[in-house]
Amino acid sequence: MDKSHELATLGVRAGQARSNFNEHSEALFLTSSFVFDSARQAAGRFTGGEDGFVYSRFTNPTVSMMQDRLAALEGAEDCIATASGMSAILAMSMALLKSGDHVVCSNAVFGATVQLYAGILARFGVETTFVSATRVSQWEQALKPNTKLLFVETPSNPLTEISDIAALSALARNAGALLAVDNAFCTPALQRPLQHGADLVIHSATKYLDGQGRVLGGAVLGAKSLVMDGIFGFLRTAGPSLSPFNAWVILKGMETLELRMRAQSERALELAGWLESHPKVARVFHPGLASHPQHALALRQQRAGGAVVSFEVRGGRDAAWRVIDSTRLISITGNLGDVKTTITHPATTTHGRISPEARAAAGITEALLRVAVGLEAVEDLKVDLERGLK
């Protein structure tokens, strides 16, 4: 379909491929394999000489629809769907890196991403240097002749730090490396990293692409030469493929993505403003607030601030836990990206396994709470938080 359509249109329409039944809603092809008309056709499909579906570890019509829709939204040439966000990062890394390569990674990425680079990939001879998400000079200093990949997540979790994608992309290009951006927090509805010069976009589709906390999924997007020639080869061999069922849920989730992201961002900004004026709150982190250190960059790079608001309460861990334990509406859960608002205490949950020193360096204090704002009325969320704050 015409890729020049607006995001809202692409989210609803892009990627649909109708079967012979001419169904209106996208079909769910719950099948592990596909049959062939003849031995000759089977041979042709297996060697890749003939187009067509073979086996759902490689690809599947429902997964293809999901990939094509997300590619249209991100403005990417190609997309490969994976079983989860982490397997997207793994597939990209296994396909593009080898022993002896070096990676520069923001120190404000998702905890499992840190473990993947610092723990698992290090065992295979890939060295990673972690640097500040926001200080471009640190990225520059960390570059080595063997640097092959720069990896960043913006906005970061949970402090919503914003990295300058265009500046990092220029650094990567000069160094002959690739820049990958984890776009899980913004989604293409709010930020399209490829337009700012990124080479690859990573998604945890588990978050806002599904949007209702139902399934795990992930994706890697970028130029066809990177995605299909390298990453698809790893996926088809190693198998962290997306199930057709999950692809179907995510595909339908993307139909409301633009609306949800706009509405959830608006609610988050309103809640952030209220928290900022609250006497029991010491600090609030949301890119849409004028007080956010990278507010101007966020306005340039994103359509809105996103749905995550973090804040420090006065009184340390006890006060933070009191806010959580006093909620009756907001869900106490580590996930985010849902239409149901969630709350978590990063220091003892999502970031509980990293050392106290690393936590302090990342700015995650015992007083910090992260709220991922959903679609409930903001007034009800304020009442729910006020109970534990007062």
Ligand X SMILES: Cc1ncc(COP(=O)(O)O)c(C=O)c1O
Q: Does 190 bind ligand X (CB under 6 A)?
A: no
Residues that bind ligand X (rule: CB under 6 A) add up to a total of 14
Backbone angles phi, psi at 23, to 5 degrees: -60, 150
Q: Hey, what are 320's tokens?
A: 């933070």
Q: Does 305 bind ligand X (CB under 6 A)?
A: no
Q: Which is nearer to ligand X, 67 or 157 (CB)?
A: 157
Residues 6+ away with beta carbon under 8 Å from 337: 184, 204, 206, 207, 208, 209, 210, 211, 213, 307, 372
Residues 6+ away with beta carbon under 8 Å from 144: 102
Q: Which of residues 193-212 bind ligand X (CB under 6 A)?
A: 204, 206
Q: Which is nearer to ligand X, 187 or 388 (CB)?
A: 187
User: In this chain, which stretch among 81-89, 115-123, 141-149, 221-229 interacts with ligand X, using CB under 6 A?
Assistant: 81-89
Q: Which is nearer to ligand X, 213 or 293 (CB)?
A: 213
Helices (H) and strands (E) in the chain, counts: 17, 12
DSSP 8-state secondary structure symbol assigned to residue 122: H
User: In this chain, which stretch among 11-19, 83-91, 320-328, 362-370 interacts with ligand X, using CB under 6 A?
Assistant: 83-91
Q: Does 85 bind ligand X (CB under 6 A)?
A: yes
Q: Indicate which single residue of 10, 76, 86, 257 sits in contact with ligand X (rule: CB under 6 A).
A: 86
Tell me how far CA of residue 89 lies from CA of 85, 192, 358, in angstroms.
7, 18, 22
Q: Which residue's Cβ lies closest to ligand X?
A: 85
Query: What residue spans of the chain are helical by DSSP H?
Result: 7-13, 39-47, 61-74, 85-96, 111-115, 122-123, 136-142, 165-175, 187-190, 224-226, 232-238, 244-253, 257-276, 295-301, 316-325, 356-361, 378-389
Q: Which is nearer to ligand X, 219 or 281 (CB)?
A: 219
Q: How far is the CB of 323 from ligand X (least distance, A)?
A: 21
Question: Burial letters for 143-178: b for 16+ Cβ neighbours within 10 Å, e otherwise?
Answer: beeebbbbbbbbbbbbbbbbbbbeebbebbeebebb
Query: What Rg, from alpha-carbon coordinates, does the chain have?
Result: 21
Q: Does 184 bind ligand X (CB under 6 A)?
A: yes
Q: Does 364 bind ligand X (CB under 6 A)?
A: no
Pattern 142-181, ligand X, x by CB under 6 A: -----------x---x------------------------
Q: How far is the CB of 86 from ligand X (least distance, A)?
A: 4
Q: How far is the CB of 205 from ligand X (least distance, A)?
A: 7
Q: How far is the CB of 228 from ligand X (least distance, A)?
A: 22
* Binding positions for ligand X, rule: CB under 6 A: 84-86, 110, 112, 153, 157, 182, 184-185, 204, 206, 216, 218
